């Protein structure tokens, strides 16, 4: 079923007015990752803005779902490792574990955590930071390094 385009702003406004969680449009992991990685900074409408974090951050397709890109697969592998160790890690913990490990899932020469800092895609080798590696590393370290992405302590 297709709706006329003019209906969309009204639908969106109705959802906001009713405070309906936008989880259906913004999956849970993404809602957790965006504030953890500070992608919401200065954007009060981040929950409604799909450009804040592309689905291709972790997925192959813009629409999400399977298959996952190399960074998404690194997160999955970390979940598996945690499960085998008897853990029940939450997604923010797994995300931090993977970032802290300084892996380079897409093999583009910039570690995943540096790509997060530079706002490029850690699972897409065609998306790379514009800064040369030493300059990016220096800025990242000055900003607090991987500790910037420590999971929020508040448990849900």
In whole angstroms, the minimum distance from the beta carbon of 107 to Ca ion comes to 9
Which range of residues in 13-21, 85-93, 120-128, 146-154 is near Ca ion by CB under 5 A?
Answer: 120-128
112 makes contact with Ca ion (CB under 5 A): no
In whole angstroms, the minimum distance from the beta carbon of 131 to Ca ion comes to 13
Closer Cβ to Ca ion, 47 or 112, answer by number: 112
- Paired with 68 in beta bridges are 59
Q: Which residues contact 69 (CB under 8 A, 6 or more apart)?
A: 56, 58, 59, 60, 105, 106, 121, 123, 124
Q: Candidates 31, 92, 103, 106: give the one binding Ca ion (CB under 5 A).
A: 106
127 makes contact with Ca ion (CB under 5 A): yes
- As a whole number of angstroms, the longest Cα–Cα distance in the chain is 52
Q: What is the dihedral of CA 134, 139, 141, 146, to 10 degrees?
A: -100
Question: Which residues here bind Ca ion, judged by CB under 5 A?
Answer: 106, 108, 121, 127
């Amino acid at each position: 079923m297709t709706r006329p385009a003019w209906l969309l702003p009204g639908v969106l406004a109705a959802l906001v007015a009713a405070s309906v969680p936008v989880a259906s449009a913004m999956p849970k992991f993404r809602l957790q990752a965006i504030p953890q990685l500070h992608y919401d900074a200065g954007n009060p409408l981040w929950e409604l803005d799909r450009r804040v974090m592309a689905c291709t951050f972790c997925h192959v397709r813009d629409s999400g779902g399977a298959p996952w890109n190399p960074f998404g697969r690194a997160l999955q592998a970390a979940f598996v490792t945690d499960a085998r160790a008897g853990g029940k890690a939450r997604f923010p913990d797994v995300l931090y574990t993977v970032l802290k490990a300084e892996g380079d899932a897409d093999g583009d020469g910039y570690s995943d955590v540096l790509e997060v800092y530079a706002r490029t895609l850690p699972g897409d080798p065609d998306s790379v930071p514009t800064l040369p590696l030493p300059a990016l590393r220096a800025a990242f370290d000055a900003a607090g390094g991987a500790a910037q992405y420590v999971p929020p302590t508040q448990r849900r």
